[in-house]
Amino acid sequence: MDANGKKLLNELMELSFVAVELNLFLDTHPDSKDALEDYNRISERYMLLKDKYEKTYGPLVNFGYSSSQYPWQWSQSPWPWEIEY
Amino acid sequence: MRFNINPRTPSAPKPVPKNKRETKQEKTVEIKVPQKYEKPVNITLEEKVEDNTVQGKVNDKHQIPPGYGPGVPTHPIKPMPEYPYDSKPDQLAEAYVLWQKYGGKMYTPKEALEKGTLFPELYRPYSPERHK
């Protein structure tokens, strides 16, 4: 995987962690508009980057949550532990 | 092997019609206490047989143990045992947790992932020296 792919993956991991944090905060503070706004903004950016990543480097999730180009990419792209950041 | 899927097996006692059930039944039970805890204690249990339902289901086969029944959650919450000593403590511990607020300083996504939290007020770095 090239440097651009790693950069995208890193940013995806960061965004998904922020999403987890905001998710947990919102679980106990469902009325917080500011937190919800941030959550939605982060989710949107996450989905955008995920699409961008998957178009070039293959699906991040399987079992129907992402499509694949030909040939089938899931088992061909590197596993998470094979990527050296 | 055949299974009897009818919960009311022939041997099971017939359910008492609702209007004929006793409303209250007092029972004195002797509870054996280990010798170091003084003499045996007599505890009066109030068994309500009036409404034998747990969450809307008629329960014919199983006796509802005391402490369970209508209005009491059926999942196994075990109450704290009584303080086992002769005298009760004056005070027990109280937990007080400040309510987290939104809108203060937050870490950047990169920093948050490294530190394990998005919120500086929740950041507790582990320092091995402190835990020796």
pLDDT score of B33: 52
- For residue A72, the distance in angstroms to the closest alpha carbon of chain B comes to 31
Please tell me the distance from the alpha carbon of residue A21 to that of residue B102, in angstroms, as a whole number. Answer: 12
> Given A14, A15, A32, which is nearest B102 (Cβ)?
A32
More confident residue, A11 or B66: A11
The ipTM, to two decimals, is 0.90
pLDDT score of B55: 40
Q: Within 10 A of B111 (CB to CB), how many other CB atoms are there?
A: 14
pLDDT score of B31: 58
Q: Contact, A21 vs A69, CB < 8 A? A: no
Q: How would residue B51 be classed by pLDDT, with cut points 50, 70 and 90?
A: very low
> Given A13, A22, A25, which is nearest B113 (Cβ)?
A13
Q: Does B109 touch chain A (CB under 8 A)?
A: yes
Please tell me the distance from the alpha carbon of residue B14 to that of residue A48, in angstroms, as a whole number. Answer: 64
Neighbouring-strand partners of residue B42:
B30
Helical residues (DSSP H) of chain A, grouped into ranges: 3-28, 33-57
Residues of chain A with Cβ-Cβ distance to B113 below 8 Å are 13-14, 17-18
Q: How would residue B95 be classed by pLDDT, with cut points 50, 70 and 90?
A: confident
A48 Cα distance to chain centroid: 9
State the residue for tokens 């299974």. B3
B53 Cα distance to chain centroid: 18
Q: Does B117 touch chain A (CB under 8 A)?
A: yes
pLDDT tens series, chain A, 85 aa: 899 999 999 999 999 999 999 999 999 999 999 999 999 999 999 999 999 999 999 999 999 999 999 999 999 999 999 999 8
Q: Does B113 touch chain A (CB under 8 A)?
A: yes
> Given B102, B109, B110, which is nearest A25 (Cβ)?
B102
